[in-house]
Structure formats: C-alpha cells, structure tokens
Amino acid sequence: MSPKKLNTIAVMTSGGDAPGMNPCIRSVVRTGVANGLQVYGVEGGYEGLMHGHFHPIGARDVGGILQRGGTILQTARSDEFRTSSGQRRAIREMNSAGIDALVVIGGDGSLNGAMVLSQQGIPVVGIPASIDNDIFGTDMCIGVDTALNTIVDSIDKIRDTASSHSRAFLVETMGRASGYLAVLAGIISGAEMVLIPEVQNDVREVGLAIEEAYRRGKTHCIIVVAEGATPTAAELGKTIDELDLGFTTRVTILGHIQRGGKPSAYDRLLASRFGRKAVDFLLNGQYNVMTALDGREIVGVPLEEVVSKPKSLPMEYYDMARVLAQ
C-alpha cells in the first residue's frame, strides 16, 4: 500500500532548548519545501500546538539560523498538554489548520508527547534534541557536542584560576538524572574525579582524591559533579571546605550556559541529517518513529520503544575517566 499523501506538515521544538535546534528546523523546512510540502512552524512547543500558534514557514524564513543557538520557534515545558483535554485541543487545532503530520524536536518529555499524539492517529516523527544525551535508541542527541565543548572550555578556564590559587574546584554540569555529560567532560578535560548519579558517591573518597592531588604536587584538583549526583556539588563544597586537605575549595555551577551558544560543526551536521531524514520518513509513510544515530547511519526507532526504555550510561567511559585521572 502506498503511503497517505501528505500536503502539510508542521515542525516544533519542545522542552529544554539545545544548540542545533535551529539547523534542524531549517533542514525540516527546506526538505519539506523541496518535496512540495507546505510547512508550518509551531511557536512555543505543545503550548503553541494547543493554542493554534502556527504560521507558514518557507525556505527563506530559515535563512541565517544555522549558526544560531536556541530555537527560533521558541520552546516550552507544558503541563496542560499532559492532560487528555490538552491533547484533544492540540489535535483539534492541527485538524482545523489542515496539518497532516508533525515533526517534534526535543527531549524525552517532548518525545513522550509525540508518542501520545501518534497513539491518537497523528503521523509524527520525533527528533532527539537534549544536551543530556539520555534518550534511548540513539547514540547521540542534538546539542550534546556543543554543550560538551562549552563545558570543556569552561573547565579549561577554571583550571587556570585553580592552578594560580592552588585550589580544588567542584564543577557541576547539567544532565538531569544522567551522568553522561559529566563523564565525557571529565575524560576530555582531564578532571581528577567525576561524580555521577549512576554511582554511589562517598564524601570521604572525594576528600582523599583532593588530598592525594595535593600530596602529589598538583597545583589544582578538578572534580566534575553531575547535577543528579548525591551529594550535590553544593553539599560537597560545604563539607570539604571544613576539612584540611591542602587545597581550599570552590564550587562552580555551570548552569544554563551549557544550553546556549553556536551549535558546533558536529551538531549542525547531525541536526541537518535528522531533519532531512524525519521528512523522508513522513513522505515514505514511516510514522511514529524517532530519527536515531546508530553508528554512522540514521535509522528510525519506534517512539513507543524510545519512551519506554531507559538509556544507560556506557560504564566503560566512567572507568576510562577514573583510569585517566591518576
């Protein structure tokens, strides 16, 4: 059976923004237009979908956005869309605008929303975008590479001041419940220790690592702490500062700078590939999947699988971070 003919698709960004969302929007729009589709941009994620905030978006409207962080379509986290009345309202708005299918660019909550719509008969393709890299089924999400570059750049700077003052720094990275960003940042910035939510952390071990770095004659000690780790960087900072470990301690919470900035070359390419593939999937009738990076290939993974399975951290990276930190 040949796939249902689509005339109009919409694209939206949802949840936390991630660098690379703009190149992805551009790719969806231009691939859609090249295939004769009318493309609508939804403003403000699921909030915009429920309130009919759509506008036609053409190839020229997405000029000059490839290098911009954030999302030109705006984004939001919507509580109302989690309710069945919110979902009914979104579907009604889409139907009355004549939108046949939807591309959702976002993280786990957004992809869950996409799956809910797909269960109610809307052809949907999801695209994983989250600096956390915590989405099942894809090796990489849009935004991770840029965030890692920002973190590494920040830690390089922190090390300069840490070395000048002979200090230990606890640097908190984002990642929600995933230690991915922290572990990767630890490896590529040469941190002395990494603390992640996936592993039980011991304050005494942290103290010993700092003391050991001091005894060995290091001029600094950098400990990367994932935001979901226990104890948190702030809690550790208080405890450790009261101990006599050689170094004095400071805490830096990197926060939302990790979500901003120009998307890296890698993120621009990944976003462009995902966007193009998402439209190809829709045109070929391959609905209700997420575009996913599997090695070097972009494949489709069913949304139901994406939202029902946890993505686990490759523990060999954690082990590598420990070995290389000696």
CB-nearer residue toward ligand F6P: 72 or 253: 253
How many Å apart are CA 28 and CA 152, to the nearest integer?
A: 30
| Residue 65, phi then psi, degrees to nearest 5 | -110, -5
Shortest distance, CB of residue 266 to ligand F6P, whole angstroms? 18
Contact 175, 228 (CB under 8 A): yes
- Single out the catalytic residue among 17, 100, 108, 132: 132
Instruction: Kindly tell me which of 98 and 310 has the beta carbon lying closer to ligand F6P.
Output: 310
- Is the CB of 16 or the CB of 70 nearer to ligand F6P? 16
Q: How far apart are CA 32 and CA 299, in angstroms?
A: 19
Q: Which residue is nearest to ligand F6P (CB)?
A: 174
CA–CA gap between residue 81 and residue 93 (Å, rounded): 13
State how beta strands 101-106 and 167-173 pair. Answer: unpaired
Least separation in angstroms between residue 130's CB and ligand F6P is: 5
Tell me the closest approach of the beta carbon of residue 109 to ligand F6P, in angstroms.
9
Q: How far is the CB of 100 from ligand F6P (least distance, A)?
A: 30
| Active site (annotated) includes residue 139 | no
CB 22 within 8 Å of CB 28: no
Which residue type occupies 113?
A: G
Distance of CA 248 to the CA centre of its chain: 33
Q: Contact positions toward ligand F6P, by CB under 6 A? A: 16, 107, 130-132, 174-176, 227, 259
Whose Cβ is closer to ligand F6P: residue 137's or residue 175's?
175
Catalytic residues: 132
